[in-house]
């Protein structure tokens, strides 16, 4: 469902850094697989859709359901800068991110600025916005910048990654209709051709590929991930046990935004209505876990942040990739 951190910046000179005997890892092949499948899928996507861009607007390439993308989207909405969102399902987003970076990155969220500058790290996107737009400078108060940034990384590692692993394990090992339903959710707000193609592709091939090459295939890893999720919720609840309204300082910061965005896979806030699997397709275990987490101080904090700091009218439907048929 997307990742938010990257260790390198975009560059025009890519081949000079690729070793002659380089072999992609299994995960890289999964991430970049769509670009390596003979071009048939890419040709179809380019034939029937085009990026949702508007002149002088930033462009956010995203996976709609990704917590990392929701983090970037939330900050963009708070900033007030004009942008369009190019939302795609997992792995098909590579057809848009790789060309944008000349093959450098398939990662989302990716923000393409009107100047041509490209950012594909959720932390860097928030940092850029807070540095350049007064409306979101409060996300990183100068005296708290370091601890807030450190907490962001903890959320990515101890909630973002375990939640994704656990959800994939429980949903992709379920009945076929659950995988198909997940594919349908993951392709919402994308182009019509993606909405048509992705659910059967995800159910038959992509979902099974995820299980075969990631830690999500092992139930013991899912159990460890669930333990980590519960432990992190306990630690955040402990931070809030003194009655503070925000995690750091006396105002809403990137710490509150990041934690709340990363609870979305588990808690499904009302602001993201339509971006979750129907309850009748969800395993009972996940429905029970949702109620368990919502009842904690940490879970309640995320709910409150969505109610008080996330306006309903700026969430989905996103501007999409646009179907070419709409343009005559």
For residue 306, pLDDT over 90 is answered with yes
**pTM of the predicted structure, to 2 decimals:** 0.84
Q: Respond yes or no on whether the N-terminal peptide bond of residue 317 is cis (omega within 30° of 0).
A: yes
In this prediction, residue 116 has a pLDDT band, given cuts at 50, 70 and 90, of: very high
Q: Express as a percent the part of the chain with pLDDT over 70.
A: 78
**Model pLDDT for residues 174-201, shown as the tens digit of each residue:** 899 999 999 999 998 888 889 999 999 9
When pLDDT is averaged across residues 4-22 and rounded to a whole number, the result is: 37
Structure-derived torsion over alpha carbons of residues 185, 187, 190, 193, reported in degrees to the nearest 10: -130
**Model pLDDT for residues 227-253, shown as the tens digit of each residue:** 999 999 999 999 999 999 999 999 999
CA-closest candidate to residue 171, choices 34, 65, 257, 316: 65
**Res 38: pLDDT:** 38
HSE of 249, CA atoms in CB hemisphere, 13 A: 17
For residue 16, pLDDT over 80 is answered with no
Token couple for 238: 């402990």
When pLDDT is averaged across residues 115-144 and rounded to a whole number, the result is: 96
**Res 80: pLDDT:** 92
**Res 180: pLDDT:** 95
């Amino acid at each position: 469902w997307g990742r938010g951190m990257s260790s390198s910046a975009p560059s025009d000179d890519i081949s000079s850094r690729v070793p002659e005997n380089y072999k992609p890892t299994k995960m890289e092949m999964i991430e970049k697989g769509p670009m390596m499948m003979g071009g048939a899928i890419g040709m179809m996507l380019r034939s029937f859709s085009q990026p949702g861009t508007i002149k002088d607007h930033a462009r956010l390439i995203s996976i709609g359901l990704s917590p990392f993308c929701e983090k970037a989207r939330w900050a963009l909405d708070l900033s007030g800068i004009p942008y369009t969102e190019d939302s795609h399902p997992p792995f098909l987003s590579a057809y848009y991110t790789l060309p944008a970076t000349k093959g450098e990155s398939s990662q989302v969220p990716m923000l393409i600025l009107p100047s041509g500058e490209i950012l594909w790290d959720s932390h860097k996107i928030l940092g850029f916005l807070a540095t350049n737009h007064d409306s979101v400078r409060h996300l990183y108060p100068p005296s708290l910048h370091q601890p807030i940034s450190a907490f962001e990384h903890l959320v990515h590692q101890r909630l973002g990654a375990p939640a994704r692993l656990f959800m994939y394990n429980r949903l992709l090992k379920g009945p076929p209709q659950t995988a198909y339903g997940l594919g349908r959710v993951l392709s919402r707000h994308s182009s019509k051709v993606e909405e048509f193609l992705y659910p059967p592709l995800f159910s038959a091939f992509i979902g099974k590929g995820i299980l075969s090459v990631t830690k999500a295939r092992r139930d013991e890893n899912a159990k460890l991930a669930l333990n980590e999720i519960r432990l992190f919720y306990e630690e955040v609840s402990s931070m809030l046990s003194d009655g503070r309204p925000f995690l750091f300082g006396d105002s809403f910061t990137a710490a509150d935004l990041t934690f709340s965005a990363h609870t979305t896979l588990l808690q499904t806030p009302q602001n993201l209505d339509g971006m979750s699997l129907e309850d009748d397709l969800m395993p009972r275990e996940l429905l029970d876990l949702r109620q368990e987490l919502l009842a904690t101080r940490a879970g309640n904090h995320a709910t409150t942040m969505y109610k008080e700091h996330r306006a309903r009218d700026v969430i989905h439907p996103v501007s999409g990739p646009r179907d070419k048929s709409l343009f005559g």
